Amino acid sequence: MPAPIPTGVAWRKSSFSGGNGSGGGCVEVAVLPDGGIAVRDTKDRGRAPHQHSGEAWRAFVVGVRAGEFGT
């Protein structure tokens, strides 16, 4: 089980969330003290965020930018 998200981390809303036909789906990301990334759904902040290593997150972002994931 991942470690709890520390209080006080700065959450940022994705620039691709909301207002662009996404149907109101919004995600927020936070950089964790260990360099990992936490991702949460803004509509259900009570659920535990997904946690990823910094390396896995960078690989995901590279894939998104390269168009590896469909629309």
Average pLDDT over every residue of 2-13 = 83
- Does the structure show a pLDDT above 90 at 43? no
Query: What are the φ/ψ torsions at residue 28 (nearest 5 degrees)?
Result: -125, 150
Per-residue pLDDT, 52: 95
Summarize pLDDT for 47-59 with one digit per residue, the tens: 889 999 999 999 9
- Residue 27 CB neighbour total at 10 angstroms: 19
pLDDT in the model for residue 24: 62
